[in-house]
Structure 1
Amino acid sequence: MNVETRLAGRLRDRLAVVGVIGLGYVGLPLAAACARGGFDTVGFDVDPNKIEQLNRGRSYIDAVSSDDLNQHRRQEKFRATAEFSELPGCDVVVICVPTPLTRHREPDLRYVSATAETIATYLRPGQLIILESTTFPGTTEQVVKPILEQRGLKSGIDFFLGFSPEREDPGNADFHTTTIPKVVAGEGAAASSLVQSFYSAVVEKIVVVSSPSVAEAVKITENVFRAVNIALVNELKVIYDAMGIDIWEVVNAAATKPFGYMPFYPGPGLGGHCIPIDPFYLTWKSREYGLTTRFIELAGEINLSMPRYVIGKLEQALDRRQKISLGSSRVLIVGLAYKKNVSDIRESPSFELMELLEDRGAQVDFHDPFASTIPPTREHAEFSGRKSVELDATALRGYNAIIIATDHDTVDYQLLADNTRLIVDTRNVFARKGISSDTIIKA
C-alpha cells in the first residue's frame, strides 16, 4: 500500500492524528473542530502558558468554551504540547502561525519559515502538511515546499502539501469554524484529494480551487475588498464632516437600496490580524511582477491616517470647548479590542490612539470589559501590563475627554453621557442608542 492510499484510508476512517501548530485565534478553534470531527488532535505551541491552561481545561479563546475543551479532553480527542518531537505521530499537520508585517510594512514570514523548518526536521513519508496562515500567493509552493523538501522527501510523492485560508471572525455568533465554507487546495491531484477528504470531515462545506496560489489569492482578495471599502467610507467621512453631513446617516439611508450597494462603516482605524495586514502582502508580491497596487496602497494610507484624524478632532474640541491643550488633558479610551464584544486586541487602532496621545503629553487610561490587562504585543510593548480602569461617575468627571474606540454592548453609555465633559464617538454608538448630549462629537 502506498503512502497516499494509506493516508486516504486513515482520513476516511477517522484514524488519522491531526497536529495543529499555533493555538491562537485560528489554531485553537480548528483543533477543537478536528476533535469534534472525530480525529485525535494534538495542539502544538511554543507558549508554555497556553499549553498549561489548555491541559487544565481552560480556554483563552472566546470561540472555544472551556466546557467544549474539557469534553474533547475527556474523550481523549485533544491535548496540547510544546514537544515538536511528537510531529512524526501526526498524519496531518496544519500550520496556523502569525504572518505579521515588518516595520517597513513588508511580509514577515519568519514564523511560517521557522515552523516549516521544524516540520522538515521530523517530516516522514505519508504526511499531509497544510498552511492556513494568510499570506501572499505563492507562499505554499515557493516558500514552504522548498523547506520541507530540503532533506530529500518530495511533495506529491513522499508527502502532500496544501493550503486552506482561515476565515475566523471573532465575536460572530452566526458563523463558526465548522459552518464557514472552507476554501481548500492541494499541490497536485493527490494532495487536493487528501485535503478535501480531511476538511470534509471537519467543516460542513468545502470550496475546492485549482491550486494553493488560487486559495491564497482568495483570502487576500476577501480582505483587500474590505480594506478598500472601509477606506472609501473613511474618506467620505472626512469629506462629509467638512460639509456638515453625518456619514452614518448617509450610509444607513444608502443601505436601504436592495441592490448594487453594500454598507461599510467608518471607524478610528483598522484592527484585527487580517484587514490591516493582508493587502500589504499583495502589494509587496506585485512588485516581483513590476506592477504597482495604487488603489490598495491608497486605501492603506487612508485607513492608517484615521487615528490621527480622530486625535485632530479631539484636539480641536478641547481647544474650543475647554480652552485646554491636548498635552494638558486626561483622556479615557473606551474599547481596547479591535471590534465589539470580543477580547481580541490584535492590531487594534486603540494602541495607535494611545501612542499619539501620549506622544503629545496627554495622560491616557483605557476601559475595556473584555480586555482587563494589556498583554505583551510585538508593536506596543510599552503598554504591556496596563489595566482597564473602572467606570463610575466620579472617575469619569476627572477626564477632559473620552474616545469611544470600540462600541462594546456592555458599556453603560448613558453613564458616560451624563458624567463626561467631552465624548469623541468614532462608532456612532450614542446615536444608535438614542442618547443625545451636546458633549458628544463624531469622528
Structure 2
Amino acid sequence: MPADLAVIGLGHHGLPLAQAATAAGIDTIGYDTDPRPVAELAAGRSPVDGSLTAPEIRRMLAGSFRPTTDPAELGRVRTAVLCAPTPLGPDRTLDLTAVTEAAHALAARLRPHTTVLLESPVPPGTTEGLLRDVLETGSGLRAGRDFHLAYSPGRLDPGSRTHGFAGTPKVIGGLTPACTEAAAAFYGRLTDKVVRARGPREAETVKLLETNFRHVNIALVNEMAVLCNELGVDLWDVIRCAETKPFGFQAFRPGPGVGGHGAPVDTVGAHRPLRLVELAGQVNERMPRYVVQRAATLLNEHGKSARGARVLLLGITYKPDLPDRQGSPADEIARHLMDLGAAVSYHDPHVPDWRVRELPVPRADSLYEAAAHADLTILLQHHRTYDLHGLSVKAQLLLDTRGATPAGAAHRL
C-alpha cells in the first residue's frame, strides 16, 4: 500500500520523526533491516531506548504508521528520510555503514520526483558525495533533476517536555534551490519554523557545531568542578550566580561523564582535527575515573576502605526519566569501583536489570533501605522519582554528581 513517507531507521531519531509525521496526518512507513524493533513496534511495545512510550506507539499504529522490514515498501513513497545510526568508529570518525546500507536499499527502488532527506549525523560533504553517488548509481536517476536531495540535522531533545518536534526549528540544505524548497514543503508540515541553509554542507556542519558546542562546554564545567573541589568552592553556587547574566553566558552543569547519542567529532575525514574538541573529549572521558577517585577519598575520610565497601549507584541511564543507557558513564564507574574491590549495587526505576562485564549487578528494591545499608551512595542520574532530601537523611554517605541535593545535604561533585 503506498505511503507519503518512509522513515528509514527506527532508532532515537527516526521514531520521533515518524510520530510527528503520523500526528500531522501523513501516511508513514517505518523501515528497518532489524526485525526485532519492527516486531516490538508492530506489537505496540515501547522501544528499548524509551524514545516513545507504549501508548504513543499504539496511537501511531491506530493512525497511519506501519513498521516494516520489506524494502519494496520504499518504492511507493513520495518522501524518504534516512535516520540510520552513525556511531564513532575506532579512528574517531563517524561510521557511515548503516547510512550506506540504507541508501542502497532506497536506491534500488527510487522513483522520479521523490524527495530524499538525510538526518543522520554525518561529515560535511556526505549528502552531495557518498549519498548522492549511491542513489544515482543504484537508481539511474540524477539528484537535483530527477529527484530532490537535501540534508536536515536531527535536533531532538529526548524526553524533553519543553522542546517538542513542532517547536524546534528545522534546518535544511538542498542540493539545488528546488531541492531545498521540496524539503521545506515537507518539514513545514511538521514544524513551526524552517531555516534554509546555503546548501547540504552548511546544514551538515550545523550538526557538527551543535554537538561539539555541547561537549566543549560540558568539558569546561567538568574542569571547573575539579578545580572548585580543590579550592573548596561551591561550583553549583557559582553557576547559579553566573547564569543571572543576561548575555554572553549559557549555563552548563558538570556530571559523572557525558552520555547520549551525539558523540563529539574531533576529526572530519582527511581534514585537520578540531583540537579544542579533542581536548574536551579527553576531559569528559576522565570524569568517571574522577568520580571513583572522589568516592574512594570520601570513604577513606570516614574511616573506610574502597575494598569491601558497599557502594550503591543511583540512576544509571544517560538522561533523567528515560531508560536509554547509550553512553552512560555508569558502566565505567561500576567497573572501576569493582577493580578497587567494592561491592556494587544499583537502583534505577527505569532499568530492571543491569550487567557489567557480563555479570549481573544486584538491583536494590527498597531505595531507602539500600542507601541506609550502603557505605556510600552515589547519585549518577537525578530521576524525578528520587526524593533527595529523604535520601540524604537515610544514606550513610552520599556523593551527588548532579548537584541536585540541597546545599549541605551531601558531598557534591
CA drift at 1:36: 1.8
Within 5 Å, give how 1:27-426 maps onto structure 2: 27-60=14-47, 64-75=52-63, 77-151=64-138, 152-274=140-262, 277=263, 279-280=264-265, 283-285=266-268, 288-289=270-271, 291-324=272-305, 326-374=306-354, 382=358, 388-426=363-401
| 1:122-177 CA-partner distances (Å, limit 9, x unpaired) | 22323221111112211212221111122332211222211111111012111211
Distance 1:159 1:393 in 2: 60
Kept in 2, the 8 Å contact 1:369–1:411? The answer is: no
CA drift at 1:388: 4.1
Unaligned 5+ segments in structure 2 are none
Kept in 1, the 8 Å contact 2:311–2:376? The answer is: yes
CA drift at 1:306: 0.8
CA drift at 1:46: 2.9
Larger % of helix: which?
1
CA drift at 1:201: 1.4
Distance 1:120 1:359 in 2: 50
How many residues are treated as equivalent by the alignment? Answer: 410
Unaligned 5+ segments in structure 1 are 1-14
Q: 1:72 to 1:52 in 2, by over 3 A?
A: same
Task: Look up the equivalent residue of 1:203 and give its one-letter code.
Answer: T
Q: 1:315 to 1:103 in 2, by over 3 A?
A: farther
RMSD (Å), alpha carbons: 2.2
Report the identity percentage: 37
CA drift at 1:347: 0.9
Three-state SS of the structure 2 residue aligned to 1:332 is strand
Distance 2:56 2:230 in 1: 51
CA drift at 1:228: 1.1
Task: Look up the equivalent residue of 2:278 and give its one-letter code.
Answer: E
Three-state SS of the structure 2 residue aligned to 1:226 is helix
Three-state SS of the structure 2 residue aligned to 1:397 is helix
Give the structure-1-normalised TM-score: 0.86
- 2:404 paired residue number: 429
Distance 1:387 1:153 in 2: 56
Distance 1:204 1:52 in 2: 33
CA drift at 1:65: 4.5
Within 5 Å, give how 1:3-42 maps onto structure 2: 17-42=4-29
Q: Which moved more, 1:45-54 or 1:295-304?
A: 45-54
Q: 1:224 to 1:119 in 2, by over 3 A?
A: same
Kept in 1, the 8 Å contact 2:71–2:105? The answer is: yes
Distance 1:78 1:386 in 2: 38
Kept in 2, the 8 Å contact 1:372–1:387? The answer is: no
Distance 1:358 1:121 in 2: 50
Q: Which moved more, 1:409-418 or 1:215-224?
A: 409-418
Distance 1:148 1:381 in 2: 41
Q: Which moved more, 1:183-192 or 1:55-64?
A: 55-64
Task: Look up the equivalent residue of 2:270 and give its one-letter code.
Answer: E
